[in-house]
Chain A
Amino acid sequence: MAMYQQQRAGINAASRLSYAAVLKKDFRKNKFIYLMGLAGIAYYVIFKYVPMYGALIAFKNYIPTKGIMGSPWVGFKHFIDFFNSYYFIRVLRNTLLINLYELLFAFPAPIILALLLNEIRLTFFKRLVQTVTYLPHFVSMVVICGMIVDFSQKAGLLNTIIAWFGGEKENLLLNPDLFRPIFIGSGIWQGVGWGSIIYLAALSSIDPQLYDAATVDGANRWQQMRHVTIPGMMPTIVILLILQIGGMMNVGFEKIILLYNPQTYETADVISSFVYRRGILEANYSFSTAVGLFNSAVNFMLLIVANRLSRKINETSLW
């Protein structure tokens, strides 16, 4: 913040008005607006910036009775403990693998669905597909996971289908090898329809004349798709890809802790679920804050790198 103030001050010095004077004038003129903004500012300061300050406990031994300020500093001890622990490789690998698979399978799925839906001429059928595929997005995660748990049981629906194809019946959620496929697959099942909306919106803004021109040039439907439709979607795809890569280290713990169990920790435990278990359940506040902070820092760097790359390649960027 101080930096911005200095920059502003510099600009204003040039216009021969001191920063304080500008601010005062602005304040007087917009007194009432500032008053209206008070709640919003308070919200962001208290619920967003205070926790950032609270993340300092990653470098301390947080003792609740002494508070954040009063607790003793320990430097990078918790980070080093984490890096040296058996869990570091495990949760890092799981987090990155789940994200990599999502990037490979879950990310393209809504794009493909949007392309297919776009080619449908029967309005009724298109509506039907859309209505049905959007639906699971609105069903709560707990219910979805409840269904997954139920279908994965030995006598469950999924096992029935597996048995048809000659497979062996087992409780699928107790098998560590199956955790990732179940996690990613159910995620696609739940999100593909909803995810396609934004691409359909992008498609609807493509100039129809481009298609006419392509037809005149003798392009068939595949060629139209390749040379008109996909380039038209590209900016949207790139922005969402940046966001996805920027979130590479984030796997929300909600679905993980609903589906995992000690037998599958080996493949299922990710950074956020580890933070939840260590921090909330075992009250290792400082240690799990350090783990969380490591996660945020890596994430933030990934976002910056992805954004810079796409600006270079594509001239599309978040900022």
Chain B
Amino acid sequence: MHRSLGDKMFDVCNIIILSGLTLITLYPFLFVLFSSLSTPSELVKHSGILWKPLGFYLEGYKLVLKNPMISVGYQNTLIYVAAGTALNVFFTSLFAYVLSRRDLYWKNHMMMLVVFTMFFGGGLIPEYILVKNLGLLDTRWSLILPGLIATWNLIIMRTSFQSIPYELEEAAKMDGASDWTVFWRVILPLSVPLIAVMVLFYGVAHWNAWANALIYLRNRDLFPLQLVLRQILIQNDTSGSTNLSSDSDPFLGEVVKHATIVVATVPILILYPLIQRHFTKGVMVGALKG
């Protein structure tokens, strides 16, 4: 196909703009990585952009990995991600199945009451009072139960279940399957990609969550990693770790902070290539009921 000069100019500009965007997005992460590996004294002397680590210094990482707050936070987050995601996906798909039954008289009413909660809620304080009255304050449940079903995900699953041919269920019922068996043996196995997307969405949400923990938890032993990170990165509070003694390098703090960011972000970066191909699918199913 013939391409005019204008076309070519357009392409060149486009590639330049997108390359710039890519660089701007990526560089802050590289900067953190480089400075986490730099020798503190070198890092302080240097001003400007870092193109490589200044020296090769692992003391920062050693301190981070020895920090008891970080390891406790890591363990807690793993518990919240595993238990929370499992319960999220199970109860969301179960309720989505119920709401997708076409012969259920009440399903439209229930659906309306569910969708309404997307647009109107009681607010932060009534939710806090509820959690308190249920006796969930300062328990792990406070991070799992209030968000058990995300309405948006519920709608996505329901829409997807509705598109499964009804004949399959009828055949199963003929063979004497109960509703539960249909759900467990027919619907779920046919929805594996959808469930993978749900696990991804709920899992990432649990991994990144901290606001509920900030509100509902006082006991530091239950803190998820993100709340620990907030103390270290935002509040500059390393009191939970005894590792940073006053006689150590005064600039060590910066390196430790950057090492903390790397340690806390690496799991996502490792998983990223594995989960990336599911993103688009996830957003596409999300757009079904856009």
Contact = CB atoms under 8 A, between A and B. Distances in A.
Interface in A217-268: 220-221, 236, 239-240, 246, 253-254, 258
Nearest to B260: A146
Interface residues of A, number: 93
A288 B124 CA distance: 9
Contacts of B28: 147, 151, 157
B211 A40 contact: no
Nearest to B113: A44
A135 B114 CA distance: 32
Closest 6 CB pairs of A and B: A51-B122, A40-B95, A146-B233, A54-B126, A292-B123, A37-B98
B261 interface: yes
Interface of A: 1, 4, 22-23, 26, 29-30, 32-34, 36-37, 39-41, 43-44, 46-55, 57, 62, 64, 68, 113, 116-117, 119-121, 125, 128-129, 131-136, 138-143, 145-147, 149-151, 155, 157, 160, 164, 189, 192-193, 197-198, 200-202, 220-221, 236, 239-240, 246, 253-254, 258, 272, 275-276, 279-280, 285, 288-289, 292-293, 295-296, 300, 303
Nearest to B264: A143
A64 B132 CA distance: 10
A39 B95 contact: yes
Interface of B: 4, 6-7, 10-11, 14-15, 17-19, 21-22, 24-26, 28-29, 31-32, 47-49, 91, 94-95, 97-99, 101, 103-106, 109-110, 112-114, 117, 119-130, 134, 145-146, 148-149, 178-180, 183, 204, 207-208, 210-211, 215, 226-227, 229-230, 232-234, 254, 257-258, 261, 264-265, 268, 272, 276, 279-280, 283-284, 286-287, 290
A254 B124 CA distance: 12
Given A39-B91, A197-B280, A201-B284, A120 B18 contact: yes
Main secondary structure, interface of A, reads helix
Contacts, number: 251
Contacts of A303: 119
B114 A39 contact: no
Contact of B25 (A117, A136, A157, A220): A136
A125 to B, nearest CB: 7
Nearest to B31: A157
B17 A116 contact: yes
19 contacts: A4-B112, A36-B180, A37-B95, A37-B110, A44-B149, A47-B127, A53-B122, A54-B130, A119-B11, A133-B21, A136-B25, A140-B264, A197-B280, A220-B4, A254-B211, A258-B230, A285-B129, A292-B124, A295-B123
Contact of B123 (A55, A116, A136, A239): A55
